Amino acid sequence: MGELRLNGKVAAITGGGSGIGREVALLFRQNGASVALLDRDLEKLNQVKEEIGAGTEVFCVDITDEADVQAAFSKIKAAFGKVDILVNCAGIFAPGTATETDFAQWKKIMAVNLDGAFLCSKYAAAAMLAAQNGGAIINIASEAGLAAIGGQVAYNVSKAAMISLSQCMAVDYALDHIRVNCVCPGRVLTPLVQHIIDTAENPAETLRELSSDRPVMRMGNPLDIAYACLHFADDSMPYATGAVLSVDGGYTAR
């Protein structure tokens, strides 16, 4: 095995039960980090914990509930002694223009995608400040936060706000050596997207449509995003904070 880039670090990962969060957890553990998995689905959390093995703990938490988040980070500190890294992967999606979007749906998307990222960042940053040893926060936003994609206004706005959250925190905590960066994935072939393809009337055509709207002519995979997170999580780029990294197959470059 090569160099363990996160050896001795403790990483908290939201949305750790599936998709990008799961892949981030696997890669971080392979690179020496102890991993705290946060998700609402305890069954999925336990499946990932079993997959990863030692050095992993699960925390069933509603990231939209401040008391729940505060308690979860207290438990993480009790279990591991510290928090060095936070990756905010948890997120939900719903389509709709402004006139098509129900206000309750709007608030739900904002609650998970933005409020959840804020609350987890708040309590992770507090733990990092108390330890006085710096840290890294990585927010998973989206290409949709950089370029308006039609028919998904609430999701777009929530992800644009995550980018701003990342930049604001980067400025506020720069002298505390807490680096806050943002990864903006393009469309990623997660289990959810695979389900959309599998249940489509013409799966092959749906796959083609979902792959052909970007220069590289394919969707990303969760590992593409996990490696971007790893670059921000280790100590190899101490000057990078407030950065916004597109990992979208060239979608936003056009």
Catalytic positions, written as ranges: 155
Closest CA to 228 of 192, 188, 174, 193: 188
Residue 119 C-alpha from the chain's centroid: 14
Q: What is the 3-state secondary structure (H, E, C) of the chain?
A: CCCCCCCCCEEEEECCCCHHHHHHHHHHHHCCCEEEEEECCHHHHHHHHHHHCCCEEEEECCCCCHHHHHHHHHHHHHHHCCCCEEEECCCCCCCECCCCCCHHHHHHHHHHHHHHHHHHHHHHHHHHHHHCCCEEEEEECCHHHCCCCCCEHHHHHHHHHHHHHHHHHHHHCHHHCEEEEEEEECCECCHHHHHHHHCCCCHHHHHHHHHCCCCCCCCECHHHHHHHHHHHHCCCCCCCCCCEEEECCCHHHC
Cα–Cα dist 207/47, whole Å: 28
CA distance 75 to 230: 24
Query: Do 87 and 21 form a contact (C-beta atoms < 8 A)?
Result: yes
